[in-house]
Structure 1
Amino acid sequence: MGWFENYFEFERYGTDMKTEVLAGMTTFMTMAYILFVNPAILSDAMGKEAFNSLVAVTALAAGLATILMGIYAKKPFALAPGMGLNAYFAYSVVLGMGYDWRVALAAVFVEGLVFIVLSVTKVRSAIIHAIPISQKYAIGAGIGLFLTFIGLNDVGLLTAVVNDAGVLQFTGLNTSALTSGEILLFFFGLFLTMILIALRVKGSLLISIIVTSVIGWITGLAPWPEHLFSTPDISYTFMQMDLQGLLNVGAIGVIFAFFMVDFFDTLGTVTGLSAKAGFLTKEGKVPDAEKILLTDAIGTTVGAVLGTSTVTTYIESAAGIEEGGRTGMTALVTGLLFLGIGLFIAPLAGAIPAFATAPALVIVGYYMLSAIKEVNFTDHTEAIPAFLVLITIPYTYSIADGIGIGFISYTILKLFSGRREEIHPLMYVLSLIFVAYFAYLGGVF
């Protein structure tokens, strides 16, 4: 036990083994839905026969990348195939643009290699350090609102769908479901979580998830696990990248789109989680950024080899951070649970219903929103771009889009307010890149 405490520097972060293990379990329980949601989305593009392989691949990619994050970067951040990126992979690239799913995997693989190069050369960390601190806190708060919306959407209370064209469509409050058993259990879980937090009960999020799940199983609102064990098989997707297919005209555009969304989703997530965990320095820098980003890049590359869309750092890691997780031990526990439960006891993880995990997402969103208080609202050139980030991330269902609007507006406001000396040179570059990115999305080129 002493080796773990020394290696992960428990004393430095004021934590202990019990807290770290509990935090790791909480993060896993909050993320476990990805074991079935990701295969469901990707199998629409790869074929329903790929589903079982994708369950194992999702668990394997998440487990290996998260363990690497824990041991190498020593941060309590978990990784898995990214939501939004998997939808873009399936519905836009494969079903929309008509590319074979093997070509799409190759694009993800190449994107991962590019990220590895940028991480090793410290370009990615330089970009993170160039971002104004007000934007970093706004990104964290915006992700909090995003998480809350995901939770409400997962349980069917507020509904929004992404159509085949990749456009988000809001359908508003689902009034017909307000008295359904699932919604009532969601509110039960939400109030149970709030009460436990108010009473300062350790492990409140995890306790709520477990209690609400058990009630759901007993009442028949969620199915009991049909069986505990399953045999992993990744043969359908393993090493299926079609690199030659990338030579086709237009494939570069696909890589560019994957690159932009993944790069800035990860940047925003890492920044937001670091702010939540108290890792940011006084200058707003993320300690060990190179190690975090290199782990993320390796995860994407290995994930493509295994057969899944982009692997990225998960905003749900905030659940474990809120439970006190501050070291790589949290990530190590989460990764081991992905390998153990995801690979061999997948039906049990799949039996955790959305109405049990949604309250945790809502509460974590509340905690992350608190970062906005660090923004100086007496300075309009800082506050207005922060506000635009805050509203754009949840309303567009995209972290990357919110960051882009924030960067562009920040640069323009500072420039035309005669405060150009406050703009880091890289912010000009990033703003222009986002202008090109939005132009690409708009079909300008």
Structure 2
Amino acid sequence: MGWFEEYFEFERYGTNMRTEILAGITTFMTMAYILFVNPSILSVAMGKGAFNTLVAVTALSAGITTIIMGIYAKKPFALAPGMGLNGYFTYSVVLGMGYSWQVALAAVFVEGLIFIVLSVTKVRSAVINAIPMSQKYAVGAGIGLFLTFIGLNDVSFITATAKSGVLQFTGLNYSAMVSKAGLLFLFGLFLAAILIAYRMKGALLISILTTATLGWLTGAAPWPHHFFSMPTVSYTFLKLDLKGLLNVGALGVIFAFLMVDFFDTIGTVTGLSAKAGYLTKEGKIPDSEKILLTDAIGTTLGALLGTSTVTTYIESASGIEEGGRTGMTALVVGLLFLAIGLFIAPLAGAIPAFATAPALVIVGYYMMSTIKQVDFSDPADAIPAFLVIMAIPFTYSISVGIGLGFISYTIIKAFRGKWKEVHPLMWVLAIIFAAYFAYLGGAF
């Protein structure tokens, strides 16, 4: 025990082993829902046969990367495949744009490599400073609506499909709302909301398991034949198709993954560091390069294993609230993912869509909260932000939303005579996106 206390600097942070372990358990309980939700989303793109592998891959990528965060960066931050980007992977890149899931994994892998380079060079600072804050916040809010759409679609409350990046929406399905599955979805949604209102730890996990159990008891879903099995990763391991990225359209996919991952990580890490008391007087994050590099390594590793982008989870705040201040907290989280998550594929596979869909809607609520950071008194900032928020769910494409936001931001600023406020890199990105949209529209 003495080695752990010395290595993780318990005395410096005023913590102890018991506090760190409890904090780790709390964080794991808060984010363990990803073991059920991530496979359910990605298996839509990869096929039902991938589900068991995806449970193991989710646990492996989360467990290994979080352990690296604990031992290398020594921070109480946990990582797992990110919500929003798994939806973009499935519904935009694979189902919407028509790429194979193997090509989508290759895009995630390349994005991870670029993220690694950005994390170890000064380019990172240039990119951070180039993108206006309003655009960063808008992307998060837009993804929140995107996830809500997916959740409602999973239980047929709405019928929406995406073809060639265009959303086809057929309206509200009232019969689905009063079906057994629909009523159970509403139960799970309100249960999660009430638990969250009471600040209950693990609210989403409790909602998923309770709703699933009610579904089994009422016959709305079949009981699991068994709860545990040995893990397998054979379906997705090293199945990347790098050759499939050799076209202009794939560049937009890679950039969208990179954009969302990079700024979501920065925003999450900044918020968590502030909560844990790490920020310096200048607002800087100690060891930020180590944190970002760990995140980037997690994305690269996750793509090799077979999952979408791995990122730092804001749910880590629950463990920080419990007193977790060192990498020991993350180490506990990572070990729990490996000890539990690797073996629960049969249980995860028996969780019906109406039990996981409420989690998607609630995560959408969490992500939408970033919109309050946008200054709506300044139309030059607010209108481009609005266009991002509107475009992401309505087109089922994060990259379209980002591109529309960048282009509109630079144009509006230029016509207001404030073109000097626009970072040169934003002009470059806007031109690239304009050319990308022209290519997709068949202009050349």
TM-score exceeds 0.5: yes
Query: Deviation string for 1:69-125 (max 9, x for gaps)?
Result: 4554533442368333245665578xx57x8x7677656544543442233224245
1:30-429 equivalences in 2 (<5 Å): 30-43=34-47, 53=53, 55-69=55-69, 71-73=71-73, 74=75, 75-79=77-81, 82-86=86-90, 90=94, 96=98, 109-163=109-163, 165=164, 167-235=166-234, 237-240=236-239, 246=243, 251-253=246-248, 256-270=251-265, 273=268, 277=272, 279=274, 290-306=289-305, 308=306, 310-313=308-311, 317-318=313-314, 321=317, 332=331, 335-429=334-428
Bigger Cα displacement from structure 2, 414-423 vs 200-209: 200-209
CA 1:268 to 1:180, structure 2 compared with 1: closer, same or farther past 3 Å? farther
Distance 1:432 1:287 in 2: 35
Look up the equivalent residue of 2:260 and give its one-letter code: D
Alpha-carbon contact 1:56-1:232 (below 8 Å) kept: yes
Alpha-carbon contact 1:146-1:365 (below 8 Å) kept: yes
Alpha-carbon contact 1:143-1:368 (below 8 Å) kept: yes
CA 1:348 to 1:278, structure 2 compared with 1: closer, same or farther past 3 Å? same
Alpha-carbon contact 1:67-1:332 (below 8 Å) kept: yes
Does residue 23 (structure 1) correspond to residue 18 (structure 2)? The answer is no
CA drift at 1:342: 3.7
CA drift at 1:199: 3.7
Look up the equivalent residue of 1:416 and give its one-letter code: F
CA 1:365 to 1:22, structure 2 compared with 1: closer, same or farther past 3 Å? same
Alpha-carbon contact 1:26-1:206 (below 8 Å) kept: yes
Tell me which residue corresponds to 1:6.
Answer: 10
CA drift at 1:139: 2.6
TM-score normalised by length of structure 1: 0.79
Look up the equivalent residue of 2:258 and give its one-letter code: F
* Structure 1 counterpart SS, 2:432: helix
* Structure 2 counterpart SS, 1:313: strand
Alpha-carbon contact 2:79-2:311 (below 8 Å) kept: yes
Distance 1:10 1:173 in 2: 53
CA drift at 1:16: 6.5
Distance 2:441 2:287 in 1: 36
Alpha-carbon contact 2:413-2:421 (below 8 Å) kept: yes
Bigger Cα displacement from structure 2, 265-274 vs 321-330: 321-330
CA 1:199 to 1:102, structure 2 compared with 1: closer, same or farther past 3 Å? closer
Q: Percent identity?
A: 57
Look up the equivalent residue of 2:141 and give its one-letter code: A
CA 1:242 to 1:383, structure 2 compared with 1: closer, same or farther past 3 Å? closer
Alpha-carbon contact 1:186-1:355 (below 8 Å) kept: yes
CA 1:367 to 1:422, structure 2 compared with 1: closer, same or farther past 3 Å? same
Bigger Cα displacement from structure 2, 397-406 vs 55-64: 55-64
CA 1:147 to 1:52, structure 2 compared with 1: closer, same or farther past 3 Å? closer
Alpha-carbon contact 2:79-2:295 (below 8 Å) kept: no
* Structure 1 counterpart SS, 2:220: coil
RMSD: 3.9
CA 1:331 to 1:139, structure 2 compared with 1: closer, same or farther past 3 Å? farther
Look up the equivalent residue of 2:370 and give its one-letter code: A
Alpha-carbon contact 1:342-1:349 (below 8 Å) kept: no
Look up the equivalent residue of 2:351 and give its one-letter code: I
Look up the equivalent residue of 1:368 and give its one-letter code: M
* Structure 2 counterpart SS, 1:32: helix
Bigger Cα displacement from structure 2, 269-278 vs 352-361: 269-278
CA 1:406 to 1:143, structure 2 compared with 1: closer, same or farther past 3 Å? same
Query: Deviation string for 1:256-309 (max 9, x for gaps)?
Result: 244222112313533554576585989998876644543343234333433x25
Query: Deviation string for 1:194-246 (max 9, x for gaps)?
Result: 33333444443333333222222222223322112222333455445566xx3
Distance 2:161 2:332 in 1: 33
Look up the equivalent residue of 2:254 and give its one-letter code: F
Gaps of 5+ in 1: none
CA 1:378 to 1:237, structure 2 compared with 1: closer, same or farther past 3 Å? closer
CA 1:166 to 1:431, structure 2 compared with 1: closer, same or farther past 3 Å? closer
Query: Deviation string for 1:392-444 (max 9, x for gaps)?
Result: 22222233322222222122111211122322232222222322332343344
Distance 2:286 2:156 in 1: 38
CA drift at 1:151: 2.5
Look up the equivalent residue of 1:134 and give its one-letter code: S
* Structure 2 counterpart SS, 1:232: coil
Alpha-carbon contact 1:155-1:186 (below 8 Å) kept: yes
Distance 1:131 1:389 in 2: 13
CA drift at 1:63: 3.3
CA drift at 1:135: 2.2
Bigger Cα displacement from structure 2, 196-205 vs 128-137: 196-205
Alpha-carbon contact 1:33-1:352 (below 8 Å) kept: no
Distance 2:382 2:135 in 1: 9
Distance 2:435 2:328 in 1: 40
TM-score normalised by length of structure 2: 0.79
* Structure 1 counterpart SS, 2:371: helix
Look up the equivalent residue of 2:261 and give its one-letter code: T
Distance 1:422 1:218 in 2: 60
Gaps of 5+ in 2: none
Look up the equivalent residue of 2:310 and give its one-letter code: T
* Structure 2 counterpart SS, 1:24: helix
CA 1:218 to 1:70, structure 2 compared with 1: closer, same or farther past 3 Å? farther
Matched positions, count: 426
